[in-house]
Structure formats: structure tokens, C-alpha cells
Amino acid sequence: MIWVDREVNKIKERKLPLEWVDDMKTPSGRIHVGALRGVVIYDLVYKVLIENKVNANYTYVFENHDPMDAIPSYFEQSKWEKYAGMQLYEVPSPEPGFKNYAEFYAKEFQEVFESINCHPKIIWALDLYTSGKMNSAIKKVLDGAAKIREIYYKVTKNVRPNDWFPFNAKCEKCQKIGTTQVYKWDGRFVYYRCLPNLVEWATGCGHQGKVSPFNGTGGKIPWKVEWAAKWQAIGVTIEGAGKDHMSKGGSYDIASAICKEVLDYPPPYPVAYEWFTVGGRKMSSSKGIGSSAKEVSEILPPDVFRFLIVRAPIERAIDFHPEGDTIPNLFDDYDRCLNAYFDKIEKKISDGKQGEVTLEFARITELSQVKPLPKKRLFLPRFRTIVNLTKTNKQNLIGFFEEIKKSPLTPEEKEILAERIVYAKKMLAGSQPAKTDFKLNENQKKFLRQLADRLEKLKNPYREQIQQIVFDVLKQGNFKAKEAFQGFYQVLTGQDSGPKAADLILNFGIEKIVKKTSRLN
């Protein structure tokens, strides 16, 4: 029995008339692949509840009303900094054809999770507010501000001053909510100051005023309090998060206490899960660290992509780095589980421990389904072999695999082969070495060596620190930026240009950068 079946067995014992499964995400930039783990986990819980004849809903909230609290590293800072602190639905889309910034990135992510057979009903957080569904909770948390200050102290030992109220007002002058501080609530209005230095990532205008907190026009609740308020407004009964939010003293503990002590609403059943990392690093939407969900969806077929997440127990981290044998090994594992499914439908499962393992593999396949599973066994052309044959430019792959199968491939098997050829070519294209005809000059080599020396000394690197080191090395060595960066990108990507240097360094990892640089003659 895999984890989701165990969880659902516990959940259905509650015998609620309706189980409401939910997940949420702020579309603050290109959404990283780590956020996809929650979507798939809750999709599994929802589908297995339905399997067990439990009445259930599944929703996904895009928090389009949150402030832009960081300009993505892949944006031109000077062009976008004027929007810092404004709500995402009021920031323009980076591409035409979308209502706003939030919709652009939310739709991109939605397209990815729907491609792997996750279809929650979408809720836009702004709509929750403008519809009036949040009004009751807004009044309760403002009336209960003193209690919420107590909860913060009890759970986190953080002291909130007596004039702190759980509301982010929208400044009537500069339209920002990230820079305001509410200091009074009279039952009808919240009174706020828009402070120039409240946060590092946005500058307030200094205005003071009052607004109604209701119906979404005057601002929003801060997120840890809001998490609880949304649970009540939507009717959520099942929702957790990644381990950072679910750890002792974390966001879930705060929201749960607010549910019970202020909103008089039972906290949802928590399904907590480990992180999904790329190369061992937790990722950030705005910092551009790691692979976005869209990027990973382009290098794996949908069923294999879903399988990558489904097969991992929720208490185990997924560390995916699409290099070397990672993808061929993933296909091998997928095929092993699909063959277990074929054994199951052919009633070839043996008794004992091995039979239990085979049944678990078959179950993983069933829950990884994107398109309908075949009704009978199919021949599966091995992806690793396809990659190797594609490298050697072998043309007749159908004939090659028919010799292995010792019979003609069926239309379904030819379809599988054709799809795998596409992804084998993508894998090979992504692992091409740098151009061999490019020669580094002495200045470029010197820049790279000095950069590697500085990077190697870092213990806990972060983006801004790395970017500053890059500029320091340029300045101190009197290197020409264009020339130095051309060598930098050629060594790492085989191209003359690329993303911001700090982002590329974080994506590659400092150890790999140092290793590549040490090979320079």
C-alpha cells in the first residue's frame, strides 16, 4: 500500500459529508518545478478519495492579490522596480495577451499541471475578496487582533506591538500594499501609514489614511493569517504544505491556532511533504533558482513527468538534476512499474513480499496515468537504447526494435517509440558540449580563474552575494565586461550570452564552476 492509500484510509474514517482538498500558490514569477509536487500530491488525495466513494472537491488558489515583493532576476530591474509593493493583479503582464502579471505566470503553471492530468478548479484570490466571501473572516481577525498577537508570541516567540493589526492596507496614493502598516481598527475602517523603509524590496510614499478592509478594494490579510481565513471562506478540509511551512512553529501552526481560537473553524487535515529540489537546492520563483515547471515539462513526456512525483513517498525529498543518466534511469523505473501493471491485469502477481512490491509498482503506474492506460501488455522500447542509437544517427529504429520484439510493432508501440525519439533528441540537444572552435584569450582565462577562487571560498552563497563578487572581480582586474562574460558563457553553455551570471552559477553549482575553470590551460 503506497502513502496516498494509507492517508485516504485515515481521512475517510472522519466521515465528513464533503472533503475539500486545496492548494495555493503566489504567481510571483516563473513557477518552479518544486511547486508542482503539492499539486500532484493533492490531486492524488482527491482522486483516491473519489475512488473510495468519498464526496470530494479539489481547488487551487492563485494568490494574484499578493504584493510583488521581489523583481525576478531575469527582469530588467530598472523597468520593473516601480511596481514593487503593488498587488500582482495590478502589475502589467510581461507578455501581451494576458490581463496582468499574475495571470501570465499562473496560466503558464496551470498549463503544465493540466498536461500531467491535474485538473483542480481554479480560484483567484482577488475574487474571494471582491465577492465578499472573506468579509466575515476579515472582521473576526481584526476584532481578534490581540488574540492573534498572542498566538504569534506563543507559537514563534515573536512579539507584535499593541498597534499591529493583521491587515495590509492598500495605499490610496501609491497603490502599494507591501509598504503599509495598519495601526488602528475602529470597526469600519483600518488606519494605516505607508512607510518609506518598512521593507527592503519596496519604498512607501509616506501617505497616511484610512480604508475599508472589506470587499477587496482596501487591501488584504497578511498570508499566515489569511491562510486560515481562506480555509474557512472556501470550506477547505484537507491542506498542508512543504516541510518549511509544516515544521513546528511554522505557518501551519500559526494558521491552525487562528482557525481554532479566532475563526472557530477546524484546521484542515494536514498532508505535509518534503521538498522537490534540483541539484539539492530548494528553488525560488523570483530568484530564478532551479528549473521552472515549464522547463521540466519540455524535457519529459507527461506520464513520465507525473510518475517522477507520484513514485516518491511524501516524506522523501525529490532531487532531480536532468544530467547524465538521470532521465534514462527515470524511464527504466517507469517501464518497470508499467510492466508491473501489465502483470497485474494479466493476473501474474506472485504471493509474498515480491508480489506486494509488484502491486505497489502497478498502483504507482495507475496513479501516474495521464492518458488511458493500455488494456493489454505493450512492448516498451528502452529509452536508453533510443538515446544511444540516436547518437549514432541510426535511421530505422522501428526495424531495430521489431528485431528485439521478434514481431512487428503495433500502432500503440510505434506511438510510444516516436514519442521517446522526440525526448531522446531533446536530451541529447541539452547535453551538447561547448563549441570547440572557440578559444579563450588570456584575459578571459584570468577572469574565470579569479572568479572561481572567490566563489570557492563561499560557505553559504546567495544570489546577491555572488553577483557582487562577479562585479568585484571585473572591477578589481580591470576586465572588459563584454569580453569577460563572453568567455564565461562559452565555458558554461557554449553560447556568447545567457542569463544573469549569478543565476547561472547557482544553477550549475559553485563546485561545478570551479571544476570547469580548473581545466583551463
Residue 212 pLDDT exceeds 90: yes
Give the pLDDT confidence score for residue 280 in this predicted structure: 59
Residue 244 pLDDT exceeds 90: no
Query: Any idea where the domains of the chain sit in the sequence?
Result: 3-126+223-277, 136-142+157-220, 324-430, 442-518
Residue 439 pLDDT exceeds 90: no
Q: What are phi and psi for residue 211, nearest 5 degrees?
A: -140, 160
Identity of the residue numbered 131: S
Band the pLDDT of 90: cuts 50, 70, 90.
very high
In this structure, which topology does domain 442-518 adopt according to CATH?
Answer: Arc Repressor Mutant, subunit A (1.10.10)
Proportion of the chain above pLDDT 70, given as a percent: 93
CA 193 centroid distance within chain: 34
pTM (two decimals): 0.81
334: left (phi over 0), alpha (psi -120 to 50) or beta: alpha
Q: What is the mean pLDDT of residues 469-486?
A: 90
Q: Which residue has the cell 494605516?
A: 192
Output the average pLDDT for the chain. 91
The answer to whether domain 3-126+223-277 and domain 442-518 are alike in fold is no
Give the pLDDT confidence score for residue 286 in this predicted structure: 47
Count Cβ neighbours within 10 Å for each residue of 119-137 and write b for 16 or more, e otherwise. ebeebbbbbbbeeebbeeb
User: From the CB of residue 513, how many other CB atoms can be counted at a distance below 10 Å?
Assistant: 22
C-beta separation of 89 from 62 below 8 A: no
Residue 319 pLDDT exceeds 90: no
d(CA 98, CA 121): 20
Q: What is the mean pLDDT of residues 273-280?
A: 78
Nearest to 183 by CA among 172, 194, 199: 194
Length of the chain, in residues: 521
Residue 342 pLDDT exceeds 90: yes
Give the pLDDT confidence score for residue 495 in this predicted structure: 65
Beta bridge partners of 209: 192
Residue 290 pLDDT exceeds 90: no
CA 388 centroid distance within chain: 32
Give the pLDDT confidence score for residue 323 in this predicted structure: 82
Give the pLDDT confidence score for residue 275 in this predicted structure: 84
Q: What is the mean pLDDT of residues 299-322?
A: 93
DSSP character string of 380-420? ---HHHHHHHHHTT---HHHHHHHHHTSPPPHHHHHHHHHH
Where is pLDDT greater, at 434 or 336?
336
Give the pLDDT confidence score for residue 404 in this predicted structure: 94
Q: What is the mean pLDDT of residues 100-121?
A: 97
Q: Which of 278-292, 360-374, 479-493 has the highest mean pLDDT?
A: 360-374
Give the pLDDT confidence score for residue 289 in this predicted structure: 45
Residue 162 pLDDT exceeds 80: yes
The lowest-confidence range among 40-54, 71-85, 450-464 is 450-464
Give the pLDDT confidence score for residue 288 in this predicted structure: 46
The lowest-confidence range among 42-51, 195-204, 491-500 is 491-500
Give the pLDDT confidence score for residue 497 in this predicted structure: 67
Give the pLDDT confidence score for residue 406 in this predicted structure: 95
C-beta separation of 201 from 177 below 8 A: no
Give the pLDDT confidence score for residue 434 in this predicted structure: 44
C-beta separation of 134 from 216 below 8 A: yes
User: From the CB of residue 75, how many other CB atoms can be counted at a distance below 10 Å?
Assistant: 17
d(CA 10, CA 237): 13
Q: Which CATH architecture has domain 324-430?
A: Orthogonal Bundle (1.10)
Q: Burial, 299: exposed, middle or buried (Cβ in 10 Å; 0-12, 13-18, 19+)?
A: middle
In this structure, which topology does domain 3-126+223-277 adopt according to CATH?
Answer: Rossmann fold (3.40.50)
Q: What are phi and psi for residue 19, nearest 5 degrees?
A: -100, 125
Q: What is the mean pLDDT of residues 220-224?
A: 95
Q: 307 Cβ partners below 8 Å, 6+ apart? A: 330, 333, 334, 337, 364, 365, 368
Beta bridge partners of 273: 242
d(CA 248, CA 407): 59
- Classify strands 318-319 and 190-194 as parallel, antiparallel or unpaired: unpaired
CA-angle at 281, arms to 275 and 287, nearest 5°:
105
